[in-house]
């Protein structure tokens, strides 16, 4: 990190240049291709997605079940030749990365076919390609990074960590909210059931007590003399 004395002595013009350089570099670096999606997966259903990729490209798939059942799902990935390159069953969350060997359409599917009544909500993040260098010709540099370039790289790494943390906490919040709503529904149904049972028992007790204090009239009749 930059010493405090150096930061205090840095002129305003240099501060402005640093902000401009960092902003331009970060905007360029955040342009990596990717897709984030939250999908509904009904019981006994399967959803598939297709992406055409060139050979020699890296892609990664991160997924997590947000709500439904035991928070598990099946997932598999196939290459253009129909070869399964990834397959997992009943996973709550997982990550998978792969370098493509052939060009064509790659398929990844989420399955809930093992569940006959649980509706699932699944989040996934599909990223294609390596992240571009934050600074021009950074991979071909033979000299050390300058102080401003090092500061930009540090800020970029911190922003990536913040993005990952925000995604993690959003998923945790969605999962906890789903559990809370499920528990609230169970408590509501149980309260209604207890109320009905209380009414039935109360009515039964009233009728039983009433029968104890009800006089039985003797049957009239008999022959008169």
Q: What is the pLDDT of residues 165-192, one digit of tens each?
A: 887 788 788 878 878 888 898 899 999 9
Report d(CA 179, CA 71) in Å as an integer: 11
Residue pair 117/68 in contact (Cβ under 8 Å)? The answer is no
Chain segment 111-139, per-residue pLDDT in tens: 999 888 888 999 999 999 876 666 666 65
CA distance 122 to 92: 9
pLDDT in tens, 49-66: 999 999 999 999 999 998
Residue entry with tokens 């009943």: 90
Tokens representing 136 are: 């021009």
The CA–CA distances, whole Å, from 5 to 1, 2, 8, 9, 12 equal 12, 9, 5, 6, 15
User: Can you tell me the distance from the alpha carbon of 54 to that of 129, in angstroms, rounded to the nearest whole number?
Assistant: 10
Q: Pick from 29, 32, 9, 4: which is nearest to 149 by CA? A: 29
């Amino acid at each position: 990190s930059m010493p405090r004395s150096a930061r205090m002595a840095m002129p305003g013009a240099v501060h402005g240049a640093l902000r401009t350089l960092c902003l331009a570099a970060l905007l360029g670096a955040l342009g990596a291709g990717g897709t984030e999606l939250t999908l509904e997966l009904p019981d006994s259903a399967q959803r598939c997605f297709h992406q055409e990729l060139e050979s020699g490209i890296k892609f990664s798939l991160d997924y997590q079940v947000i709500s439904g059942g035991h928070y598990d799902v099946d997932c598999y990935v196939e290459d253009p030749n129909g070869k399964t390159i990834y397959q997992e069953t009943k996973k709550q969350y997982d990550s998978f990365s792969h370098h493509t060997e052939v060009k064509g359409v790659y398929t990844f599917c989420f399955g809930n076919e093992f569940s006959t009544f649980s509706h699932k909500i699944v989040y996934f993040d599909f990223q294609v390609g390596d992240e571009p260098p934050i600074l021009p010709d950074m991979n071909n540099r033979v000299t050390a990074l300058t102080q401003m370039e090092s500061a930009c790289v540090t800020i970029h790494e911190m922003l990536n960590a913040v993005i990952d943390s925000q995604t993690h906490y959003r998923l945790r919040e969605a999962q906890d909210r789903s559990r809370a709503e499920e528990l609230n529904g169970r408590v509501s149904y149980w309260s209604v059931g207890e109320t009905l049972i209380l009414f039935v028992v109360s009515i039964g007790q009233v009728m039983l007590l009433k029968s104890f204090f009800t006089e039985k009239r003797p049957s009239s009749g008999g022959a008169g003399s």
